[in-house]
Structure 1
Amino acid sequence: MRDSIQKWADWTGSVVTEVQPSYTSQVDSRNGTLLGKRTGDNFTGFDGVVLQADHNAATNVLSRGTDKDITRYMSKAEVQAVLLRRTARFLCMNGIESARCS
């Protein structure tokens, strides 16, 4: 599969970049948090906005290519820790979880 993708990339002049895929289906691509839920073809954000789940995940995969905090060879647990920190920061910045903000 990797070779086939690379051949297409070479043919089209594209660049292939491998990324750490953990949690790309569970992250809300609009805000980078774990505050949503994927159910089948839908991803519902904490604010009730429904996104097409595969599009949401693909947007997250694309974002991983330039993510300075999540590297290709991180473990799933390390990725989860980064995402939990981002989620907590988002909640604090938006006044949603003020009791734990410091």
Structure 2
Amino acid sequence: MLKLICLSILFIVTCNGMPGGYKDRPELLNDPIIHSLTSFGVEKLFESQNLKLTNVKVTRVQTQLVAGTNYKIDFTAKSVRTEAQTTCQMVIFVKLDGQRTLSQSQCQ
């Protein structure tokens, strides 16, 4: 019986990735919800860091289920101030009630 339980857990982890970890979601690259979350994050970057970005293109999406969903979004954009191309990553937490928070952001 113990072997059966261990094999079941191994199967679940193999098929779904590590519980609690981020999962790549390439099917969400062009999803309207992701673009809405990205716009939300870009707006928050402008408010908090005075970083105005244009020509935003989402390049990678990962999700993590917690008490809601963390969306880790990688994107490229053009800085209005320097006119240079930049690469950014942000994590937006969406609570079960739909409330959004920009919890992490980093641009290079």
Q: Shared fold (TM-score greater than 0.5)? A: no
Question: Which has the higher relative contact order, 1 or 2, with Cα contacts under 8 A spaced 6 or more apart?
Answer: 1
Quick check: which has more Rg, 1 or 2?
2
TM-score for the superposition, normalised by structure 1: 0.31
